[in-house]
Amino acid sequence: MNSVGIEERWVSVDGLKIRYLEAGSGPPVIMVHGAQTFLSADVFTGVMGPIADGGFRVIAYDQPGYGLSDNPSDYRVSYRMTFITKLMDVLGLESAALVGHAHAGGMVVRLALREPERAAAVVVVCNRSLIPPLPGGQSAGGQPEPGVPSPSGPTLSDVRAELEDDVYHKGLITPDVVEAKLRLSIGKNLVAAAEREKVREPYHDAVPVWERLREITVPLMLLYGDRDRPSMGQRARLFKEQQPDLDIRVVRDAAHLLMWDAPDAFTTSVLECLAGPPSGVA
């Protein structure tokens, strides 16, 4: 059982009031949640303490337009990617280990490729655009953001159905969890979801990003759940066979919210990445 408590804090970044959670002290680890409307820093609360116990300062924040953070004027993915370093600057962090879930996995990889001096390590969790499609399948391309909910907002049933797709261990989806996620899916966050839909930025990479992963010289790990959709575990295993020097792990009985389904495996893997040598180094 972890001994480090999690504190809720607020900071002004780029004129926005940003909520973040923090635990522990030591080398910084920044965790960035995915793009679904109901996601926030809280998706990491079950794993922050154990990682902080490993000797790290763990920070998870509500991205602009998510959770309790202010809505931005710029809703593009590229803005949210550059926002990571804006937050780091305000917190006085020259570099940090970056953990990106789902859509944010692409953000942290691209940030590490563009500004390698800012990334001390990179952990990607359940991102579909960073592994090739199955043979004969269409190109995976960039990972699109989830579609905008109905203008009237989602219902409890809608939120539960979405969580059912994201979580393998269904007992984790309690009425309290569904109600909390519904609260994060309405109001200003529903407005933000509609604005993000208007300014989607599909990636048109000249070279697929998965072919550039070796350019990342700091410790790099890709984590996938074997129950994630669509065929994510199968694709990750195949990519691992093709690129055995990359640290790609498929976690058993875990879906898209891998840190919920398999917190121990998530924590162990992240700590091993943070402690390990740069990828490709024996």
Q: Is the pLDDT of residue 189 over 80?
A: yes
Helix H or strand E segment including 97: strand 96-101
24 by DSSP, 3-state: which?
A: coil
Across the range 23-39, mean pLDDT stands at: 98
* Contact (CB, 8 A) for 131 and 235: yes
Tokens of 7: 């504190």
What are the residue ranges spanned by the domains of the chain?
7-275
Question: Structure pTM?
Answer: 0.93
All residues at 6 or more sequence positions from 98 whose CB lies less than 8 Å from its CB, including other chains: 29, 30, 32, 84, 108, 111, 112, 119, 120, 121, 122, 123
**196 — pLDDT class (breaks 50, 70, 90):** very high
For the chain, what is the largest distance between any 2 Cα atoms, rounded to a whole number of angstroms? Answer: 54
The percent of residues above 70 in pLDDT, for the chain, comes to 91
Tokens of 76: 């593009």
* Contact (CB, 8 A) for 74 and 15: no
The yes or no reply on domain 7-275 and CATH 3.90.1330.10 is no
Identity of residue 100? G
pLDDT in tens, 126-178: 999 999 999 976 544 444 555 555 677 899 999 999 999 999 999 999 999 99
Helix H or strand E segment including 124: strand 119-125
